[in-house]
Chains A and B, each alone.
Chain A
Amino acid sequence: MTTASNLLTFLGLVVTLLIVWRQSWPARLRLFAAQSLLLAALGATVGVLAQRRGLLLVAVVVIVIKGVVIPRVLARIGSGAPVRPIAPGRSSGIRLLVAGALVVVAYVIMLPVTSAVELPTEGAIPLAFAMALIGLGLCVTGRDALGHILGFLVFENGIFGLAILATYGLPGIVEAGVFLDVLVIVLIMEAVVVQVRHEHDSIDVENLRELRG
């Protein structure tokens, strides 16, 4: 179990770093879908090895909602987006370096959790938290609505992975609430983006800078 959970979470983190690195929207979207599938695999693995049937159901729901439905909605949102020119001098190097630093930070913050217990999955907990932190970074530094949504979803994936690793699955009502929540947020975001595009002819959030003071 330790090997499997470590490997799957590590791959999830690698995909997260690739999302940081890539600039093109379709590529980042595919990477997000891949990350969600890894998360589902993690849920299924922990479910089988720890004999939690509920996690298998969770894995199926993750595949359907985060692997298929949400990427489709995101593709629909992104289909009308103007292709963002990559500004010269904006290297991914710095951002990757920051992401690397966040992994270290994640290990430090999660020390109380990993030192509190002897779990077969404990080694992967900081990796999942690093995914969440990097997602949060993507969300905060995102320059358009798509960047914000993608960052938020990566963030959410990281937290969800942490929940699986630390607790082997939460009570059903909470899991259901989490999925419903993510789905509704993405759909509301789509409605908002449609209106932003309608009002401003682009989804660059630089246009949303009127409210100050």
Chain B
Amino acid sequence: MMLVALLAIPLLGATLSWRAADRLATALHAATATLTVIGALAVTITVNRGEPLVAFDGFLRADALSAWMIALIGLVAALAASEAPRYVARVRAGRFYALFHLFVFTMLLAVSTDDVGLMWVAVEGTTLASVFLVNFERTRASLEAAYKYLLICSIGIAIAFLGTVLVYFAGIQQFGDEVHALRWTTLVRLAPGLSPRVIELAFVFLVVGYGTKAGLAPMHTWLPDAHSEAPAPVSALMSGVLLSVGVYAILRFKPAVDAAAGAGFARGILLALGLLSVGVAAAFLWTSPNYKRMLAYSSVEHIGLVCLGLGFGGTLGTSGALLHIANHALAKSIGFLLTGRIRAAYGSAEIAAVGGLLHGMPRTGAAFLAAMLALVGLPPFGLFVSEVMIFGAGFARGFPIVAGVALVLLVIAFAGLLRGVHAIVFGPSTGAPTAETSAWRPVLPMAAAFALLLLTGLTWPPGLGATLDRIVAIVVP
């Protein structure tokens, strides 16, 4: 019931906002975002206290892994929603809010269903809901970004469909379609009896397909365009949680593949793609002239790290990867929301056009610097802890070469990102920004997100270990 309510809130909000305008639209938007985050946290707490939530005869199902994603989507959506009114003050507010909440709805649906077919439909829905958001400013560049995004992700998701079909095929060949109805719970139970060759082929298609949505190299080419051209709240949602939803889809299939084909197969693919993603991001972080693109490539890097963690596996690697997903979601959405403010003040997203940010916009500049230091993985922020966990798992579980190469690439990426940040924050002043607001209320949501990042960075909150262990028990058989 609670799960149905959680999904109904953004869907209802989206429907109501479509024709709304002005203050009514903003009020609806605020109410929907608030209720969504409350619902998300309620579901998360309930699931972690007891059994998975189930609705519609098991069609909708939220276990600990779903709950982790639901909490992240709720939090990042609320954070992004708090900034959204800045971007739509003038035009078509109702449309923007409607698509925004529809986008949130599709992501929530993707992580809270037991049916891998419906999960596929929902992930495809995320593309369709967000493509107009990417092109919301209707410039030439945003149009190009939206076109690339729609085309590449549609192809990717069609490949994921092929993978899903093959998984279903393997299931009904072995057990008949009365038993097997594309349910994840059934799939994991039956997995040891499935044909390993077919499941391997299916997993390749699934990784390529959902990996496109996750922004893994070499399927990442749509990502820098879409993330940099979308309005900042949309970039925050896309980079913060949409990419992780792609990883989630891959992660759902991993235990079944491990059981059917042995643990080495999925691991090899995840490690190779993870390493390649970190490498590609490291190269482009050095050359990108645009700070929103720079943040987009940093997302490719972090998704690569998450894949490495999942590939190393074990309790340490998997929980490190999950924690990294959460930390990255918080830090990257703060980062993108701040770039939105910077872009509005300076009128350009080029690094060269923004200099001396700390001088021109002291508060925004300081927050931006802090978010970037978090993203490069420095303490006291949570990303440091999760990166240590991931690399610790790599060395401890016998992959010193992969972990070593990744570490070198990480240092290159670190230097590349810091070089850009240095030019922005401390470089010679170039433009004259419009004055930043000194009100305290707009700062609150971001301050709360920073507090969460510090919380995972400085302490190990009570209950976190137990929560992560529950999820690890689901994905590592």
Contact = CB atoms under 8 A, between A and B. Distances in A.
Interface of A: 109, 112-113, 115-117, 132, 136, 139, 145, 148, 152, 155-156, 159, 162-163, 166-167, 170-171, 173-174, 177-178, 181, 184-185, 188-189, 192, 195-196, 199, 205, 208-211, 213
Contact of A173 (B121, B124, B135): B121
Nearest to A129: B162
B258 interface: no
The 3 closest A-B pairs by CB, nearest first: A177-B121, A112-B197, A174-B117
Contacts, number: 118
A197 to B, nearest CB: 11
Contacts of B288: 213
A189 B150 contact: yes
Interface residues of B, number: 52
B18 interface: no
B169 A192 contact: no
B290 A213 contact: yes
A139 B155 contact: yes
B165 A112 contact: no
A173 B225 contact: no
Contacts of A171: 115, 117, 181-182
A186 to B, nearest CB: 10
A106 to B, nearest CB: 12
B166 A208 contact: no
Given A117-B173, A156-B158, A211 B121 contact: no
Nearest to A185: B154
Contacts of A173: 115, 117-118, 121
Contact residues of B: prevailing secondary structure? helix
Interface stretch (B138-146, B373-381, B386-394): B138-146
B342 interface: no
7 contacts: A145-B147, A167-B172, A174-B120, A192-B135, A192-B150, A208-B148, A211-B148
Nearest to B131: A188
Contacts of B269: none
A173 to B, nearest CB: 6
Given A170-B165, A211-B225, A159 B118 contact: no
Given A167-B165, A167-B172, A171-B182, A109 B201 contact: yes
B375 to A, nearest CB: 19
